[in-house]
């Protein structure tokens, strides 16, 4: 649909809904994806895969050339890789600055809105005109030109409901490390998190561990990829988690046999699906980014 309007898009969605069997009835949220053209294919695919678990109306906002005539182009997909609806909205000219007015008529009534920036994100997501629609606002510091600086800056514009996929990627690591302390292990004296240089998740994992264990945990560089190890020095030994492939890790604890544990790297669709399971504020994430900001100041 070239040179269209939000009302025409809404009417077309209604017509398609009647033709294919009313998928909107079971939709549980509206997922807004804000990205440039180079990211839209992967982002929309990830959102569509996540919507199999969380049926959604997916609205992809794609700013295009500013120097072209102001217009809105739309592409509607129903029943393709998703249980809901997908609308690609390409905004040209001055309309780039008014995405909120385009989105407003397309939001499903009385259900939550989640906004995801798979690329560069605003400094204060909740104050962004599109971000203001969201009960949850998902960013990804790893997509920034300086990921560590980006994750440290998240505290400045934080509003309850914000989160970042750099934090979501840590869920399996945090669960595994917590399980390592199911049995008494003695006091942790210090430790370090190893990761490829500039990895924002390493920064968050180090401050989370430091806060929980009451010990200094620093970040050191490795050859990667991604997070590769956590080493914690105890009064009478060591706990180590080492991952050098994309699927498994080795958990080592002094005096016990090594254990192979599942610790797979997850695709964006799985990370996004995890975030869509909770719409309440993540206070542990808030604490982690505030500690990261304090450490970087």
Q: What is the pLDDT along the chain (297 residues), one digit of tens a residue?
A: 567 777 888 787 777 766 655 554 567 899 999 999 999 999 999 999 998 888 889 999 999 988 888 999 989 887 655 667 899 999 999 999 999 999 999 998 889 999 999 999 999 999 999 999 999 999 999 999 999 999 999 999 999 999 999 999 999 999 999 988 877 677 899 999 999 999 999 999 999 999 999 999 999 999 888 999 999 999 888 999 999 888 899 999 888 899 999 999 999 999 999 999 988 899 999 999 999 998 865
Other Cβ atoms less than 10 A from the Cβ of 171: the count is 13
Calpha distance 258→173 (Å, rounded): 17
Confidence (pLDDT) at 79 = 64
Q: What is the predicted pLDDT for the residue at 194?
A: 97
CA distance 49 to 272: 9
How far from 167 is each of 74, 172, 175, 246, 265, CA to CA, in Å?
A: 33, 11, 13, 18, 13
User: How many other C-beta atoms lie within 10 A of the C-beta of residue 212?
Assistant: 16
pTM here? 0.91
pLDDT score for 27: 74
Strand ordering across the sheet containing 113-116 = 71-78, 85-92, 56-63, 29-34, 113-116, 136-139, 162-164
DSSP state of 107: S
> Whole-angstrom Cα distance, residue 2 to residue 24?
24
- pLDDT recorded at residue 297: 54
Give the angle 126-127-129 at the CA atoms, nearest 5°: 100
The span from the first CA to the last CA of the chain, in angstroms, equals 49
| Joined tokens for residue 216 | 């200094």
Q: Note whether 155 and 179 are within 8 A (CB).
A: no
State the Cα–Cα distance between residues 91 and 75, nearest whole angstrom. 12
pLDDT given for residue 25 in this prediction:
52
* Predicted confidence (pLDDT) per residue in 64-106, tens digit: 988 888 999 989 887 655 667 899 999 999 999 999 999 999 9
Token pair of 190 as six digits? 């210090």
Q: Are 139 and 115 in contact (CB under 8 A)?
A: no
- Find residue 56's DSSP bridge partners: 29
């Amino acid at each position: 649909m070239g040179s269209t309007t939000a009302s025409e898009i809404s009417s077309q969605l209604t017509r398609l809904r009647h033709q294919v069997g009313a998928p909107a009835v079971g939709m549980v949220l509206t997922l807004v994806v804000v990205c440039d053209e180079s990211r839209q294919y992967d982002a929309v695919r990830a959102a569509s895969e996540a919507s199999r678990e969380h049926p959604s109306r997916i609205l992809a906002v794609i700013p295009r050339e500013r120097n072209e005539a102001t217009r809105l182009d739309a592409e509607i997909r129903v029943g393709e890789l998703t249980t809901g609806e997908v609308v690609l909205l390409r905004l040209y000219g001055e309309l780039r600055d008014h995405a909120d007015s385009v989105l407003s008529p397309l939001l499903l009534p009385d259900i939550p809105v989640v906004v995801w920036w798979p690329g560069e994100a605003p400094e204060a997501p909740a104050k962004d005109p599109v971000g203001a629609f969201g009960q949850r606002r998902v960013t990804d510091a790893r997509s920034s030109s300086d990921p560590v600086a980006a994750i440290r800056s998240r505290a400045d514009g934080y509003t309850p409901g914000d989160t970042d996929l750099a934090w979501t990627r840590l869920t399996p690591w945090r669960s595994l490390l917590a399980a390592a302390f199911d049995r008494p292990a003695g006091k942790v004296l210090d430790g370090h998190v190893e990761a490829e240089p500039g990895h924002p998740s390493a920064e968050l994992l180090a401050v989370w561990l430091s806060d929980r264990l009451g010990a200094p945990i620093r970040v050191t560089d490795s050859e990667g990829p991604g997070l590769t190890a956590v080493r914690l020095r105890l009064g009478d030994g060591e706990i180590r988690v080492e991952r050098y492939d994309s699927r498994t890790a080795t958990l080592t604890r002094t005096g016990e046999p090594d254990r192979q544990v599942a610790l797979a790297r997850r695709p964006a669709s799985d990370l996004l699906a995890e975030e869509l399971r909770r719409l309440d504020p993540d206070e542990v994430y808030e604490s982690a980014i505030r500690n990261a900001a304090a450490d970087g100041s």
